[in-house]
Structure 1
Amino acid sequence: MENKDKNLYRLDELSDYKIASNYSDVRGWKIVDADNRTIGKIDNLWVNKDMQRVVYLDVNVDKGLIDDSRNEVHDAIASENGREFIYKDGDSHIIIPIGSVSINKDTKTVMANSIGYNTFRNTSRYNTQHNFDRNYERRVMKSYYPENEPGVNYDSDDDTFYNRREFDNH
């Protein structure tokens, strides 16, 4: 589905883009939470083309984390119409803002510094066949950073939405 307003692309969709030489290509690396519990593996990187930078890590969630939350109804995150959701088969990916992690080049591990295992377990996932939209981004950001409410405007345009510490790639 082509969308002329689409601003986020997987890095592997952009043949003319590559990772800058001073950054690690973390695709395929393990990601852990602050307590070193496995969240999953980095599957891809989401790039904001207008800003010409990576804004999200695309994580294929570890089976253990999925099993911990399978068929649970999570009332912490509601869909836009106010109803609760249950994960569907294939919903095995989450996005993590690039500024929310640190990278250990020696161990090829990415660490989510301030987001705990239970938050990841309860965060809405998406299916790579359907990608995600801004509403999904808002739900994820509210899940990871509930303390930012109500002061953060998650409804803002791209420049404002991605111009905060959660998207700073150090």
Structure 2
Amino acid sequence: MEKKDRNLYRLDELSDYKIASNYSDIRGWKIVDAENHTIGKVDNLWVNKDMQRVVYVDVNLDKKLIEDSLNEVHDVIANDSGKEFVYKDGDSHIIIPIGAVTINKDTKIVMANKIGYDTFRKTSRYDRQHNFDRNYERKVLNSYYPDDESRFLSDSEDDSFYNRREFDNY
């Protein structure tokens, strides 16, 4: 994301932002899929600063899920020898819309509703050292909601993109 066009920030980048007292700080909590398979740990929360709300959960993927993905081909790039590789080192994070998870305060587990392990295994990842753009957001949403793909095709770069059920607050 370009600085001038940036609308999303990691919560830990915003020193003047805190989790409201009636919400749980889920950073560090385990996240599981709809069938209770481990996906990873919540690393951070992505905040739309203009809207002053969380829109994504940033997940550092579990090593097993990454290993299970090694034979999958995502965003294939050919290297100089003509062989293909899937991800660069560091591509171990995904985003999940906040409205797609349920938070269990008692067990300190976040559950991704209706999104299965295979979907997470195939979802495009990014390197936490680099921010992502709206195209990445669309690609991820299309992988989670393939039957609704046309809903995410809008060229809109404004905050209206987040006015959909997938981004309802937790």
TM-score (norm 1): 0.90
Q: Does the aligned pair in 2 maintain the 1:61–1:93 contact within 8 Å?
A: yes
Q: How many residues align?
A: 164
Q: Does the aligned pair in 2 maintain the 1:48–1:55 contact within 8 Å?
A: yes
Matched residue type, 1:25: D
- The SS at the match of 1:149 is helix
Q: Using the aligned pairs only, state the percent identity.
A: 78
- Measured on the aligned residues, the alpha-carbon RMSD in Å equals 2.0
Distance, in Å, in 1 between the alignment partners of 2:16 and 2:32 is 30
Matched residue type, 1:40: G
Distance, in Å, in 2 between the alignment partners of 1:63 and 1:47 is 26
Q: How does 1:141-160 map to 2 (within 5 A)?
A: 141-160=141-160
Q: CA deviation at 1:71?
A: 4.7
User: Which residue pairs with 1:129 in the alignment?
Assistant: 129
Is 1:138 paired with 2:138?
A: yes
Q: Does the aligned pair in 1 maintain the 2:90–2:127 contact within 8 Å?
A: yes
User: Which residue pairs with 1:88 in the alignment?
Assistant: 88
Q: Which runs of 5+ in 2 are unaligned?
A: 78-83
User: Which residue pairs with 1:116 in the alignment?
Assistant: 116
User: Which residue pairs with 1:14 in the alignment?
Assistant: 14
Distance, in Å, in 1 between the alignment partners of 2:48 and 2:26 is 17
Matched residue type, 1:128: R
Change beyond 3 A, Cα 1:129–1:169: same
Q: Structure 1, residues 85-142: CA drift from partner, whole Å, max 9, x if none?
A: 7122110000000000000000000000111100000000000111211111111011
Distance, in Å, in 2 between the alignment partners of 1:97 and 1:78 is 25
Q: Does the aligned pair in 1 maintain the 2:104–2:110 contact within 8 Å?
A: yes
TM-score (norm 2): 0.90
Distance, in Å, in 2 between the alignment partners of 1:32 and 1:151 is 26
Q: Does the aligned pair in 2 maintain the 1:46–1:56 contact within 8 Å?
A: yes
User: Which residue pairs with 1:49 in the alignment?
Assistant: 49
User: Which residue pairs with 1:101 in the alignment?
Assistant: 101
Q: Which runs of 5+ in 1 are unaligned?
A: none
Q: How does 1:31-50 map to 2 (within 5 A)?
A: 31-50=31-50
- The SS at the match of 1:34 is coil
Q: Does the aligned pair in 1 maintain the 2:76–2:85 contact within 8 Å?
A: yes
Change beyond 3 A, Cα 1:133–1:107: same
Distance, in Å, in 1 between the alignment partners of 2:139 and 2:72 is 17
- The SS at the match of 2:59 is strand
User: Which residue pairs with 2:81 in the alignment?
Assistant: none
Distance, in Å, in 2 between the alignment partners of 1:36 and 1:3 is 37
